[in-house]
């Protein structure tokens, strides 16, 4: 087996173990009574329920968010930057597009995203490896 083959095998093994660890985490998480699991696999916990309008996928939303891996590693946070983020809702990962349409302005949810609702088999940034399960605290501040 060549060095290239060995490196590819190690990468595949790591990706498979990351996927399994995330699926185990989500299976346990789904048992918590405060967590809702949808047919898509999206899991969320309502931290604060707002009473404003809900966005559609075609809207641009403004949010504060804090993203971590299941081990607690922070990979991105508008809160830490002190600047909310605005983006078209249909231009982000599937889990966000689905979840934010459930939220009213003023709501804060904790999202638990299977890799199929996040970055899948791609890595993203320095910390998100292929098949990573992601956790986001998201506060919906506004809709345009």
> Is 65 annotated as catalytic?
yes
- The domain total for the chain is 1
End-to-end CA distance of the chain: 55
Domain region containing 129: 3-143
> Is 75 annotated as catalytic?
yes
Q: Which residues of 65-76 are buried (b: 16+ CB within 10 A; e: fewer)?
A: bbbbbbeeeebb
Cα–Cα distance, 101 to 123 (Å, whole number): 26
Per-residue pLDDT, averaged over 90-110, amounts to 97
> Is 13 annotated as catalytic?
no
> Is 4 annotated as catalytic?
no
Q: Which of 44, 65, 109, 112 is catalytic?
A: 65
> Is 128 annotated as catalytic?
no
Q: Which of 93, 128, 135, 143 is catalytic?
A: 93
pLDDT digits (tens, 9 = 90+) for 36-84: 999 999 999 999 999 999 999 999 999 999 999 999 999 999 999 999 9
Q: What is the CATH number of the domain that holds 64?
A: 3.10.50.40
Cα–Cα distance, 73 to 12 (Å, whole number): 22
């Amino acid at each position: 087996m060549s060095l290239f083959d060995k490196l590819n095998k190690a990468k595949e093994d790591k990706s498979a173990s990351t996927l399994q660890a995330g699926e185990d985490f989500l299976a346990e998480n789904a048992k918590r009574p405060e967590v809702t699991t949808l047919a898509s696999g999206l899991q969320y916990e309502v931290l604060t329920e707002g009473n404003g309008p809900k966005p559609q996928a075609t809207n641009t939303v403004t949010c504060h968010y804090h993203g971590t891996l299941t081990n607690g590693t922070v990979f991105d946070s508008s809160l830490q930057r002190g600047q909310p983020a605005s983006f078209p809702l249909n231009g982000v990962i599937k889990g966000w597009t689905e979840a934010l349409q459930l939220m009213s302005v003023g709501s804060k949810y904790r999202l638990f995203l299977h890799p199929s609702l996040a970055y899948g088999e791609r890595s993203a940034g320095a910390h998100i490896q292929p098949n990573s399960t992601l956790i986001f605290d998201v506060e919906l501040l506004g809709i345009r």
